[in-house]
Amino acid sequence: MRAAGAALAVALAAAGCGQPALDSCADPLGGTWDVVGELAPSGEPRRYHALDLGATIEMYPMFDDGLVDAADRKDTTPTAIIAAPAALDLSRTTGQDALGGQITRRFMRGDRSCVMRAPAHLRACTEDRATLEAALLAPPTNWQTCTGAPPTVVRWQLTRGP
């Protein structure tokens, strides 16, 4: 009987540890977020760790984000393109139920380094879901000016992880 009572206490404690459902993007958003139905070029599920700092949110990949595309082999030759993981920096605006900011990613090739940026937005935060609109940043096409083709904009549905 004592074991059954202990098991029930553990189950109730675990059930109470989850984060409350979201009413809006103004609610605490820290934790892990999974992109629904989307794999990274590495073949891993896209999962992000969100740090909620109050006025700002930082999101970092929890998968191998160093691959530019599925055929990337992470070469280390002098002409190889080395991609740093992307980071999302989003800010809350008073009175708005969305966060805006940017996605940033650094690329290196030989002795050249370019930091690419594009707008990003997090919206529709309800229950344990949100919508992330951001760019898939590609390496620059011109390494002298650090410019490239317009990035591909994606709209992902996110679900909050455990």
DSSP for 27-44, please give it.
S---EEEEEEEEE-TTSS
Lowest pLDDT segment from 77-86, 106-115, 117-126: 77-86
Whether 50 contacts 35, CB under 8 Å: no
Q: Is residue 61 part of a domain?
A: yes
| Res. 8: pLDDT tops 60 | no
Amino acid at site 137: L
DSSP code per residue over 19-84:
PPPBSSTTS---EEEEEEEEE-TTSSEEEEEEEE-SSEEEEEESS-TT-SSTT-----STT-EEEP
Q: Is residue 14 part of a domain?
A: no
- As a whole number, mean pLDDT of residues 31-51 equals 94
Domain that holds residue 100: 21-160
| Res. 25: pLDDT tops 70 | yes
Q: Is residue 151 part of a domain?
A: yes
Q: Is residue 5 part of a domain?
A: no
| Res. 157: pLDDT tops 70 | yes
Structurally, how many domains does the chain consist of?
1
